Amino acid sequence: MEVLISGAGIAGPNLAWWLSQGGHRVTMLEKAPEPRRSGYIIDFWGKGYDLAERMGLMPRLQQVGYHVEQVRFLGKGGKETGGFAAQVFTRATGGRYISLPRGELSLALYESVADRAEVLLGTEIEKFEQDAGGVDVRLTNGSERRFDLVVGAEGIHSRTRDLAFGPKERFERFLGYTFAAFTAETYGRRAVDTYVMYGEPGRQAARFALRDGASLVLLIWRDDEREPIPHGDEVAKRALLRERYSGAGWEVPDFLAALDTADDLYIDRVSQIRMDSWHKGPVALVGDAAYAPSFLAGQGAALAMIGGYVLAGELKRSGGALEPALAAYEQRLAPFMRSKQDAALGLASSFVPRTEFGLKARDIATRLLGIGWIADLLVGRSLRDQVELPDYF
């Protein structure tokens, strides 16, 4: 089968790898002119971790990843007000838990399919027409080709989804926050293997020490007005952050100063994508394009890997019969993906407290995570992926 995948972040290369295991011929597009390496720190565990291990990626990911030891919450004047030892996560997952830059996972996946797929960088889908036998696609490089299956893996802002299903607004569920992430290359204050978060009512700021003296800065704030994000305007993006964090305490003024030299600033809304179906004829979606759980879930990358594995596996199981495979892909995963989205939705109202009282309540809750049975009750269940993955390959 000839398969076109649009997107070479995490969902796309992962799907390409498993499709190649099934003997399919894969072409993968990426809008960016080179593989993406930037991104915030993600936590990686569960079935996604298991699949990365099967793909032979874990030795590399262990080298580039981090084993967080502490999560600290700070209040006025930088005083520590809450926190917990991160072993609560490793204990709940049997040690199969790692934090790593999203770009490192993306690059590892991309390089794993370099000799398994035709890769076209700086290229995306311009338009397509589908019929019962396949999809005629025109690419932005001017070429026109026909594929048996087209899969959108471009994330929450998927162009394939827009073309096949309609505009994002039909499927986006905004959770009330906007977040930003960037790297401060020479940030002086460091707490190795510790995630440090400072909170004020309605906004938070955090840092995590990376290798080579750099630090990741993460900002998240309540956005009740759902203000537009100037995605293509670097000056306007920086102005937005300075406005939203004007007057903030702790190290926030230093974070804002570091914006001047940051070259990887990323800003987006905290949203989910909820769809009744992930395919329409021979066009399908995988990962955040179909079932983004949101930044709050902390598991979008792993869910994308699960989705790609099942989609490729059902194509193999069906002997290439497209409609039965796509239907089985949805039937197996839709309840699981919705449960992950619902869990993230439950966190949304309290993730960034609106009041000083809310901050105090959050801090008390984090200190309770130091008690083993409470940690298992509050965290353990959420870290278990309640889905069975057949051994397709």
Contact of 347 with 197, CB cutoff 8 Å: no
283 sits in which H/E element: strand 283-285
Paired strand residues for 266: 181
Closest to 306 (Cα-Cα) out of 108, 44, 114: 44
Q: Classify residue 380 as exposed, middle or buried by CB count within 10 Å of its CB (0-12, 13-18, 19+).
A: middle
- The residue ranges of every structural domain in the chain are 2-67+99-171+272-352
Contact 314, 332 (CB under 8 A): yes
pLDDT in tens, 159-195: 999 999 999 999 999 999 999 999 998 888 888 999 9
Amino acid at 73: F
Neighbouring CB atoms inside 10 A of 109's CB total 27
In this structure, are residues 316 and 392 in contact, taking their beta carbons and an 8 Å threshold?
yes
Task: Collect all residues with Cβ–Cβ distance below 8 Å to 124 and sequence separation of at least 6.
Answer: 6, 29, 30, 31, 139, 140, 154, 159
Q: Which amino acid is at 70?
A: Q
Element (DSSP H or E) covering residue 348: helix 322-348
Q: Identify which of 290, 329, 330 has the alpha carbon closest to the alpha carbon of residue 313.
A: 329
CA distance 378 to 144: 52
What pLDDT is attached to residue 242? 97
Ranges of the chain with pLDDT below 50: none
- Which of 12, 235, 3, 200 minimizes the C-alpha distance to 105? 12
Identify the CATH class of 2-67+99-171+272-352. alpha beta
d(CA 54, CA 216): 29
Burial class of residue 85 in the structure, from the number of CB atoms within 10 Å of its CB (0-12 exposed, 13-18 middle, 19+ buried): middle
- Say how far apart CA 82 and CA 358 lie, in whole Å: 13
Question: Residue 177 in 3-state DSSP?
Answer: strand
Reading the block at residue 110, the tokens are 């991309």
- What's the pLDDT score for residue 380? 67
Residues 65-95: tens digit of each pLDDT: 999 999 999 999 999 999 998 888 888 888 8
Judging by beta carbons within 10 Å of its beta carbon (0-12, 13-18, 19+), is residue 179 exposed, middle or buried?
buried
Give the angle subtended at the CA of 299 by the CAs of 84 and 176, to the nearest 5°.
85
Q: What is the pLDDT at residue 232?
A: 87
Which DSSP category does 157 fall into? G
Per-residue confidence (pLDDT) for residue 261, from 0 to 100: 92
